[in-house]
Structures are given as structure tokens and as C-alpha cells.
Structure 1
Amino acid sequence: MNAPLTHIAGRAYPFGMKNCDTDVIIGAEWLKTISRQGLGTGAFAALRAMPGHILAAPKYAGSPILIAGDNFGCGSSREHAAWALADFGIRTIVAPSFSDIFSSNAFKNGILTLTLPQQVVDHLMAIASEQSFVIDLEAQRVASSAGDIFDFEIDPFRKYCLLNGLDEIDITLSLADKISRFEEDSPHPSVAVRRPRSQALA
């Protein structure tokens, strides 16, 4: 079960990188584990090792929001990328667009992928060094401490799951009674009739 996501408040990393692929998010050397714990250490490790990189700046440390460029999460389908970001403390990623597979993986791990127009993302990037943000998932609204307010769209099912901290296993378990009733009411599958093997032609 994921932690319920209702309001995300704090600073945002003004990352902005376009076409950031999953190799950048988490390097191949971190893929030997099936545990989600500790992968935050490897999140953007190569970039954070660069002197002065925004992702390593103390003023943004612990920020729950990442502002990214177009086509974020492209590349491989590794779910480790979402695990690493969640363990790094990212709860919401704001970008003009996302890779479909990454967006799905992020959702399954309790991360909101929030799509906004490029000009809005550019504005948020420009003020992130001085302002903080509040993302209200219920109201579907992003607000800055400077007074900006931007509405966003989200799939209703994903919104429900994120608000309630539900993953696919939780959803299946919530339907356990209905599944049991369906199995009880369904007729037993018929036994397949065996047919004799065809005789070889003389």
C-alpha cells in the first residue's frame, strides 16, 4: 500500500531536463536488487555527483516536487526508476509530457505525474528558486507562494487510487468478496473430451 497523496507542499527541484530517460534516473548498476529500499541513493546519482548540479543543491534538499522537461521517463520500462524517485522523496513530478510506461509505473508507486503546458512549466521553473508550492490533488490545483494558481487534469481512477493510497494489490483485495461470489455462482468448467488419435494412413 502506498501513502495517501492529498496535498504535497514544499520546494521544487527546477530540473527541467528534456527527454530524461530511466538510465539517467537510475543507473544500470542499481538494477541488481528487487528491493525498493535504499534506491534513493542511486536516484540521479551521476548528475548529483556533478559539482553545483541543481539536484545536489542544499536549498532544495528533501523537496517533494520535481519540475522536469518534456518526455520525462523515456527509455526502458524499468520500475526501479519510480522506486528510486519515491525513495529519494519525490511525490510529484511536473512536466509537459511523460513516457506512458514511466507514468504508469510512477502511479503504481504513489507518485503523481502532473502534466501542465510548457509555458506554465517554464514559469514554475523560473520561480522555483525563490518560491514554494502546494499541490492539491483533490482540487486538482497547483499554487505557488507567489500567488499563482494552475488547474490540472487527471484520470479519475488514478486520482482515486492516489488519494487513498491504493495500489493494484489493494484494489484486488478490496474486491475479494465479489470475486468469491463470482466463483461460487459460476458453473464448473466442463471436462474436455479426449478424442482418439488419428490412425496413420497405410
Structure 2
Amino acid sequence: YVDDAEIRLLGDSGTIISHQANMAANRGVAPPIPALRAAGCPVALGTDNNTNDVFLVMRIALLTERIRRNRDGDQIPGLKPQPEDVLADCTLGGARAVGEEERIGTLEVGKKADLIVVDTLRPHLVPAGRILSALIHCGHAGDIESTMVDGRFLMRDRRILTMDEGAILREAEAVGRRIWSRVEEASPVQVPRLERPG
């Protein structure tokens, strides 16, 4: 949605691009990320909304940028970006986008200890010549077994430690059913719905 002159302006001003790769792909758009990078725009990956899987977002960002570069005549198709590039967009790029790169985005002494532990012994991840490449190309959120934020585990061995996940899910289901009932009552068009047993 930007032309060459606008890309130059964005680059000259150091505008941080919040790349919502999944949302763009859903709309059939491959944003001009290579041109924005070349103009000097830092890139941050985002999940847009809903329950997007960050591994899927990184995969879509990697693939759509490669498609865009190939279409735009890159010398060696598929060479850029590499998985390390999209991971940096996701971590440090995200931290930079919210002005927190001095506190988060990388694992360094003095920064918050925000990290995930990934179960890499999964059928879709082995054998892996490069584990990061396998994660970006084949991984998904279900591979995360533990999550730490600021040095504190929020999830350990796939179990949420900070809240009653079952109670929250039951409440969300009940609220969702109430909302959908109201939508169906108010709407002239019936929303198709499969009833759950029990």
C-alpha cells in the first residue's frame, strides 16, 4: 500500500514497520518488506490479533518476503531472509517497536529473562540440521513446553502456573455461548453452529 516515494520517506524517518505477515497473507498481500528494509526501516513482526501462532507468523513472514524478493529480481532466490532474520524481527524488532530494546528482545546480562523452552524432539522437528530453521519452517505453538517472563515461569511442562486455566476456559465457553445466542437472536441470518455433545 506504499509507493517508492513513500518507502523513501519511511526509511528517511526511521519508521519502524509492524509487519503483520499472517493478516497480510490472509488478504493476499506480500508487503514490500525488502524495499522497506533497504530504505532503512527496522521491521517488527506482529501477530495482529486473535490467537495467531508466532511460529506460523515467522514462517509466513519468511516465505512472503522470499516470494517478494524473487518477484522483485533478487540475484539468488530464497537466500534472504534467513530464519535468524525473522527471529530477530520477532524478538529484538518487537522490543524496538515498543521502545524496550534496552530491557527485552535478547538474552543478555541486565535484561529481563524472557524466554521459551521448546520441545525439539517432535516428529515434525527431527531430524534438524539447523534447529532454528526447523522451528521457523515446521514448528508451532504447541512445541513450547515452558515460558519464562522476567525470570519467572508462567508455564512449566505445559502447565499454566499463574491461573486456573480450566476455570478460565469454562468461563470463556459460557460467555461465548451467551454472546452467540444474542447475536443469533438479533440477526436476521442464522449463524450455523454445530452442537457439542453433552
Pick the structure with more helix per residue.
2
Q: Give the number of the structure with larger relative contact order, counting CA–CA contacts within 8 Å between residues 6 or more apart.
A: 1
TM-score of the alignment, normalized to the shorter chain, above 0.5: no
TM-score by length of 1: 0.29
Q: Larger C-alpha radius of gyration, 1 or 2?
A: 1
